[in-house]
Amino acid sequence: MRKLVLTGIVVAASLFGASSVLEYTLNSIDGKPAPLAQYKGKVVMIVNVASFCGFTPQYEGLEKIYEKYKDQGFVILGFPANNFGAQEPGTNEEIKTFCSRKYNVSFPMYSKISVKGEDKHPLYQFLTDKQANPATGGEIQWNFTKFLVDRDGKVIARFESKVTPESAEVTSAIEKALK
């Protein structure tokens, strides 16, 4: 596996050769490399988040489902992004403080990345690639788009911003993946 350094972020996967989200390493919100491979064997929800969005209260629902399912092998990964309406202008430290103080977020948060456009992070290039993920690919339309990933790192579902984390649609997909 070759390593690529892209604007200070180490990506442990080829831009075009990845077959799983587990092949990527991004920085945690604290700036330390945090390989997604550490979640092999878990059901993962990847969410692009923002602090000043109409959907920001979904942090509460995300935390609820994380607490409900984490002991069964479920994890949520939050990826702050400032791609939509400049709704995530803060630094990583400001984002971390906001999430912990306002919503008591305890699930893993990553450093701010781009999820759309020319500077789109390779993880999101993979997630939105219609060839790699025909059922769930396509451009991110707004904050709080949710991707559900199985225990082997394959994308199995996508939920758009308006679908709340605690909806029956989301929780039934999580429960099915955990079985």
Which residues are identified as catalytic?
53
Q: In sequence order, what E strands does 20-112 have?
A: 25-27, 33-35, 43-49, 74-80
Torsion of CA 129, 4, 107, 143, to 10 degrees: -40
Distance in angstroms (rounded) separating the CA atoms of residues 62 and 58: 6
Beta strands at 155-159 and 33-35: parallel, antiparallel or unpaired? unpaired
Handedness of CA 26, 43, 168, 64 (dihedral sign): negative
Handedness of CA 119, 123, 126, 127 (dihedral sign): negative
Helical H segments across the chain, by residue range: 58-69, 92-103, 122-128, 168-178
